[in-house]
Amino acid sequence: MFSAEDGINPRTLKGHTRAVTSTHILGVGKEVLSASKDGTIRLWNVGEAKELQQWPIERKRAIEVLVVLEDKEALEEIGMEEEERVMLASTKDGVAVVPWTQPGWFVPRLEEVGHQISMAYSTSSQLLATGHSDGTIVLRPLRSLVPDSPESTTKLFRRNDSPIYSLSFSSSDLLIGTSTGLPCCVGIEIKDDTISVVTKEEYAGWEAVGVECWTEGNGSVWCAGGEGGIRRY
């Protein structure tokens, strides 16, 4: 943990036994969540540098991405209105749905796509996007994760054959980064239960370096990965 004001490292949290792949700050930062390839999500008290709770994933599946649902609409969509938050843990085999206080469940990836590498959620459209090792991106409504839910529209599309390293929603747009670079922005439209996708912008000037993360601010998008450093568009 680092101070954003002076860069001082006031706390170091230790407990995971494999690489930490995702973190999430709760509220004003007194508690944080972390997810790891050791197959666990952990809740930490920052002030005491102490682990408060641990959620193991079925079969100790390595967690690649953690998404935390805290908005009322998302919790209603997934049938968890009584929960304060629900965690979605992306593994190579699918998504583990982990409620804060109740038993969770596992949603396998589609058989026709490769291993799951990346994941993002849109609060505006309530769509979940997953990126796969064969270059496929899957868009699906959040409610499709609920067991025995009615069949819903799923959209599959592909940039190329490069694994999808990173995904991030920007309003109704989706930012995509692959293992070979070539970041882009696609627009998503939902009409009559049909999901359509159109490429809005190709971000030129990136060498063939995997794009591993995205962020957005002040009218710009930033992406980073590998030896390519950070780029602003």
In the structure, what pLDDT confidence band is assigned to residue 205 with cuts at 50, 70 and 90? low
Predicted pLDDT of residue 39: 97
Residue-wise pLDDT tens digits, 44-86: 999 999 999 999 999 999 999 999 999 999 999 999 999 999 9
Banded pLDDT at 217 (limits 50, 70, 90): confident
Domain ranges of the chain: 1-60, 64-232
Q: Are 169 and 121 in contact (CB under 8 A)?
A: yes
Is-same-fold flag (1-60; 64-232)? no
Cβ–Cβ under 8 Å, residues 94 and 107: yes
Average of per-residue pLDDT across 25-52: 95
Domain 64-232 architecture: 7 Propeller (2.130)
Residue 205's nearest CA partner among 184, 176, 219, 174 is 184
Distance of alpha carbon 203 from alpha carbon 36, whole angstroms: 31
Q: Which residues contact 15 (CB under 8 A, 6 or more apart)?
A: 42, 51
Model confidence, pTM: 0.92
* Calpha distance 199→201 (Å, rounded): 6
| Distance (Å, whole) CA 184 – CA 205 | 12
Report residue 177's pLDDT band, with 50, 70 and 90 as the boundaries: very high
Name the class of domain 1-60: mainly beta
In this structure, of 3-12, 34-43, 97-106, the range with the lowest mean pLDDT score is 3-12
Query: Exposure string (b/e) for 149-174, b if CB count within 10 Å is 16 or more?
Result: eeeeeebeeebeebbbbbbbbeeebb
